[in-house]
Amino acid sequence: MAEIIPILGPRQFTEEEAENLLPTVKRITAQAAREASKIEEQLRFIPREEPIFGRLATEMDLIIRRWAIKVKKLGLRPTALWIVDFDAGEGWFSWRLGDEHVSYFSSPGAGLEPGSEKKELSE
């Protein structure tokens, strides 16, 4: 039987719990990234003044917003495009598209931005 994943509430995660939820996060994120990539490719060849450019840009924005809503419903925090934080109580486990596992732990207020305080979990 499939595991039921609680939604619509803040949660705190152990590293193991974050890893267990990661396949769902990866699937949601990969799907949104594929959809956004298709639109991004189209936008590269359309002048900004064309009406379709605005429609496609709006569609891309909606894809990203829907992704963020889905991530939040799982009790996670989208911190940047395709980057997700799992609340660990005293900090955050972080994952970004392309990573195999939850790879970082950061203290409150830090993220995966350049120069932020983060520690690779493999250290």
Does 3 map to a domain? Answer: no
Instruction: Let me know: does 15 contact 42? Beta carbons within 8 Å.
Output: no
Does 76 map to a domain? Answer: yes
3-state helix/strand/coil string of 41-95 = HHHCCCCCCCHHHHHHHHHHHHHHHHHHHHHHHCCCEEEECCEEEEECCCCEEEE
Does 10 map to a domain? Answer: no
What's residue 10's pLDDT? 73
Does 19 map to a domain? Answer: yes
Does 5 map to a domain? Answer: no
How many domains, the chain?
A: 1
Range of the domain at 101: 15-120
What's residue 115's pLDDT? 37
Six-digit token string for 38: 């298709």
Does 33 map to a domain? Answer: yes
What tens digit of pLDDT does each residue of 12-39 get? 999 999 999 999 999 999 999 999 999 9
pLDDT beneath 70, residues of the chain: 1-9, 108-123
- State pTM to two decimals: 0.80
Does 9 map to a domain? Answer: no
What's residue 11's pLDDT? 87
